[in-house]
Amino acid sequence: MRHLRRLHPGLLATALVFASAAAAQTQELENPGVTSAIQDRPYRMLHELDLWVGVLPLDAFYVGVYAQVSYVYHFSDRFAWQVGRGAYGLAARTPLRAELERTFGVQPTANDEVQFFVGSDVMWKPFYGKLAVLNRAVIHGEVHLLGGATLFKFSNSGFRPGINIGGGGRIFLNRYVSFRLDLTHNVVLPTGGGTTSFGNVMTVNLALALNFGGND
pLDDT of residue 106: 58
Q: Which of 185, 193, 99 is nearest to 150 (CA)?
A: 185
Mean pLDDT of the chain: 82
pLDDT at 146 over 80: yes
pLDDT of residue 173: 93
Higher pLDDT, 109 or 91: 91
21-25, 146-150, 165-169: least confident range: 21-25
Task: Specify the amino acid at residue 176.
Answer: Y
The region that residue 192 occupies, defined by phi over 0 for left and psi between -120 and 50 for alpha, beta otherwise, is left
Q: How confident is the model at residue 8 (pLDDT cuts 50, 70, 90)?
A: low
pLDDT at 33 over 90: no
Contacts of 177 (CB under 8 A, 6+ apart): 208, 209, 210, 211
Mean pLDDT of 165-185: 96
| Residues 118-138 pLDDT 10s | 999 999 999 999 888 888 888
Q: Give percent of the chain with pLDDT exceeding 70.
A: 72
Contacts of 134 (CB under 8 A, 6+ apart): none
Q: How confident is the model at residue 19 (pLDDT cuts 50, 70, 90)?
A: low
Q: Which of 28-32, 74-78, 101-105 has the highest mean pLDDT?
A: 74-78
| 130 DSSP 8-state letter | E
CA atoms 75, 206, 173, 134: torsion sign: positive
Higher pLDDT, 69 or 133: 69
**Four-point Cα dihedral 73, 75, 80, 81, nearest 10:** -50
